[in-house]
Structure 1
Amino acid sequence: MRYLPLSDNDRAGMLATIGAGSIDDLFADVSEAARLPGPIPGLPDHAGEMAVERHMSRLAAESVPAGSVPFFLGAGAYRHHVPASVDHLIQRGEFLTAYTPYQPEIAQGTLQVLFEFQTQVARLLGTEVANASLYDGSTACWEAIAMAGRITRRSRAVISGGLHPHYVETARTMAKFTGDVLDTRLPELSAATDDDAVIAAIDGATSCVVVQYPDVLGRVPDLKRIAAAAQANGALLVAVVTEPVALGLLESPGALGADIVVGEGQAIGVGLQFGGPYLGLFGCREKFVRQMPGRLCGETVDADGKRGFVLTLSTREQHIRREKATSNICTNSGLCALAFSIHLTLLGGTGLDRMARASHAQAVKTARALAQVPGVSVVNGAYFNEFAVVLPRDARAVVRELADRQVLGGVSLGRLYPGVDGLANGLLVTATECTSDEDIAALVSALKEVLA
């Protein structure tokens, strides 16, 4: 039985108070195409528990787990090996919660974990400070754009064509409510990044330049050059890292001049998880710390002089900042942050370097093998573990035919950029330390069959 504590009069009174004519008015920003006109077709009103379990099991069986077939998907979500010890530790009773505490002084263990997490993220991103995580990479990217606007008092963001399109769409959604102007561009299937075009777009009204590193096609932009151009115009450089393992080999964005560095932490410790929950990373220069969204855990001593931890900065709307908050993100994916921190602790600097080198080596093997397939050309010159190839026909159809052969061969650019000329034949291929030589051989064999 549904729990409906409000009467029709209660609802009518609430709607009148906020000036809405009906409940449907509350969903005005959701397009008609995304709304259902009624109950989901074919879904029964009720069913017994065993019947539901059988039905859900049948649906689950239609999924193909990432490790069960040759797997070359990436595009912002990456399959890396996560040690069993990570899952074991995050399921301990004192950790098993997705939230940081609302009464932080009584949860010293949680605060210590987040303090260590911040230290790891700051060192990884090359920034002076890092917060206690955000919801995911795309929302962290928007928060960086908003933060740059507050710092510079400008409202125009120049966005590289190499930024993941989902991140761009998230920023567009939020910018509708803030008035920020997003100067966007599309990627081109070439080995060169769009550094020159991005630099040319910077002017005196630019709050920030947003550049992905490596970018959505796996290319490596020249952050140092872009940072110099942005800062010469009073703008900030926001670097976005969707594959944090890449920083085991590439120089950190902060060291290259980025003012704000954000990213997606999923690749370390979290796993694919069918798309979420994921983990937003956020770091910046110390002089900008009071404009940083989210929360910052700090170290102190108690009345007896013993080491302790506190929420040093908490600029969310749920706390005392209220309407002056720099962020309204209502969770920080604390359990994912813990998984990230445990995995990175187990790896250490040497382990991360080895993991990154193994991923790059398998990507190089994959690219070289694909370059030998008739009709296939590799786009990238430099890359970490992800690169683009051009196929002789529409990549979306090729991906489906590869899946029919039990090979998940990559992400088609036509899926990421539907209807965009010049990208339909592009395929984004990713390899990690989990990619075996047998997987590469299976991809090459299946692709030759499909393109024959």
Structure 2
Amino acid sequence: MEFRYLPMTDQDKKDMLTTIGVESTDELFSDIPSKVRFNRELNLKRPANEAQLKKELTDMANKNANLKNNSSFLGAGVYDHFIPSVVDHVISRSEFYTAYTPYQPEISQGELQAIFEFQTMISELTGMPIANSSMYDGGTSLAEAVNLSAAQTKRKKILVSKTVHPESRAVIKSYAKGPNLDIVEIDHKNGVTDLEHLESQLDENTASVVIQYPNFFGQVEKLDRVRDLISAQKKTMFIVSSNPLALGYLTPPGEFDADIVVGDTQVFGIPAQFGGPHCGYFATTKKLMRKVPGRLVGQTTDEDGVRGFVLTLQAREQHIRRDKATSNICSNQALNALASSVAMSSIGKHGLKKMATLNMQKARYAKQKFLDAGFEVLSDAPFFNEFAIKLTKSVKEVNARLLEKGIIGGYDLSDAYPELNHHMLVAVTEIRTKEEIDAFVKELGDIHG
């Protein structure tokens, strides 16, 4: 019996060198000058056996702060939400876990139906008629929407509110380099978009206006006011980046005549897992159906009249002429989209509204506790489940002390907004208990002084 996958023996190496006609491995590198070659051993630890390696990796992993042993008030785009146990059971099935792109519908009906259900639920949440079969994450989905707006309007100017997630704004700027778009950032006032600044920048060269709802500070933007401003400019498109859980309670962007609604479904069935992978969604109007990046799953019937599902409208460069492609996105997040689909189905539409309501109620309880304790809050505007508080010490220092108490503190806003030094963005989700919130406020109060 031949053991093909065992490490090479010295005799194996000798036989290979003899076969290719050289004396040693060094001869293979003889054309490379010795002064640029690495002529010493790598400074690495000696190899460990399997048992030793597992112990070492476990010890390293145990140094990480996890959400099982710590209560988290960290949000800023990645949230600690309830995940129904059925999610892991379904996505761990081999037919889903190992599935590739479902190009062959006759053997991929389960995968295709799951994606179709994902599209349907995203469409219902956003109030938009069309949703694609997922994208890498919310940031890339938003950047794709920006590029689509420029291609559709034949304009170069993009107005992006500074209340949009700073990482998403960075992705937009990266994507904008290719088509040479002009990204203009709109200021904020106390955590909401400055509508006067927005109005002053709107003109006949504006391809789109980008707003986050709820925004990065957790505040609920006035989409009706933004829509009215945009309406004065023909062809300018309205792009909304939205937390889909919040849409279980808030009026969907589709009802404010948004042209494109994007976001991230990490809030449904996808754990925080150090920030990724996530699952982006992209929803839009029927008018833009053939311009959607990625692909859609459509429902049809076979020759016997039985309902079935197929990939359709694959307008990416792999399937059509490159100059006609809407995007070079070559994959989606089918497994994570499935996790979100299972979570949304399990929670149900009534449960989803209750879950969103709990986020709002618990966040308001926490905000009031902070106000009672003498903390200053950034804004009094309506918000979902995040709000910003001002500290007397650096957020980094405060978070280090909170972690010693088993509490993961909020996001340091000074990282992206230098003018908000000592401001912490606090997220309160439905799984935070009254006891955890009270303990958080007390510990932060003791540190705050």
Q: TM-score, normalised by structure 1?
A: 0.86
1:430 to 2:422 alignment: no
Change (3 A) 1:42 1:404: farther
Q: Distance in 1 between matches of 2:66 and 2:141?
A: 28
Aligned to 1:439: 436
Once the two structures are TM-superposed, the CA of residue 385 in structure 1 deviates from its matched residue by: 0.7
Change (3 A) 1:416 1:48: farther
Greater Rg over alpha carbons, structure: 2
* C-alpha contact 2:136 2:280 (8 A) present in aligned 1: yes
1:405 to 2:405 alignment: yes
Once the two structures are TM-superposed, the CA of residue 345 in structure 1 deviates from its matched residue by: 1.0
Aligned to 1:202: 202
Where in structure 2 are there 5+ consecutive unaligned residues? 1-6, 9-19, 21-37
2:120 alignment partner AA: T
Q: Distance in 1 between matches of 2:114 and 2:46?
A: 45
* C-alpha contact 1:270 1:278 (8 A) present in aligned 2: yes
Once the two structures are superposed, residues 27-47 of structure 1 have per-residue CA deviations (whole angstroms, 9 ceiling, x without a partner) of xxxxxxxxxx9x9x9654744
Q: Distance in 2 between matches of 1:280 and 1:433?
A: 22
Aligned to 1:91: 92
1:236 to 2:237 alignment: yes
Aligned to 1:266: 266
Aligned to 2:140: 139
Once the two structures are TM-superposed, the CA of residue 324 in structure 1 deviates from its matched residue by: 2.7
Change (3 A) 1:192 1:180: closer
* C-alpha contact 2:240 2:262 (8 A) present in aligned 1: yes
Where 2:277 maps in the other structure, the secondary structure is coil
Q: Distance in 2 between matches of 1:105 and 1:389?
A: 55
Identity of aligned residues (%): 38
Aligned to 1:100: 101
Aligned to 2:311: 311
Where in structure 1 are there 5+ consecutive unaligned residues? 8-36
Where 1:281 maps in the other structure, the secondary structure is strand
Q: Distance in 2 between matches of 1:258 and 1:344?
A: 23
User: What RMSD in Å do the two structures reach over aligned CA positions?
Assistant: 2.2
Q: Distance in 1 between matches of 2:45 and 2:241?
A: 44
Q: TM-score, normalised by structure 2?
A: 0.87
2:424 alignment partner AA: L
Aligned to 2:127: 126
1:91 alignment partner AA: S
Once the two structures are superposed, residues 198-248 of structure 1 have per-residue CA deviations (whole angstroms, 9 ceiling, x without a partner) of 23211111110000000011111111221232233121010001x321111
Change (3 A) 1:43 1:166: farther
Q: Structure 1 stretch 395-404 or stretch 169-178: which is displaced more?
A: 395-404
1:271 alignment partner AA: P
* C-alpha contact 1:375 1:392 (8 A) present in aligned 2: no
* C-alpha contact 2:161 2:186 (8 A) present in aligned 1: yes
1:325 to 2:322 alignment: no
* C-alpha contact 1:366 1:440 (8 A) present in aligned 2: yes
Aligned to 1:289: 289
Q: Distance in 1 between matches of 2:187 and 2:412?
A: 15
Change (3 A) 1:45 1:236: farther
Q: Distance in 2 between matches of 1:270 and 1:173?
A: 26
* C-alpha contact 1:73 1:430 (8 A) present in aligned 2: yes
Where 1:68 maps in the other structure, the secondary structure is coil
1:249 to 2:246 alignment: no
1:443 alignment partner AA: F
Once the two structures are TM-superposed, the CA of residue 330 in structure 1 deviates from its matched residue by: 2.3
The equivalences for 1:134-213 within 5 A come to 134-185=135-186, 187-188=188-189, 190=190, 192-213=192-213
Q: Structure 1 stretch 145-154 or stretch 318-327: which is displaced more?
A: 318-327
* C-alpha contact 1:227 1:236 (8 A) present in aligned 2: no
Where 2:89 maps in the other structure, the secondary structure is helix
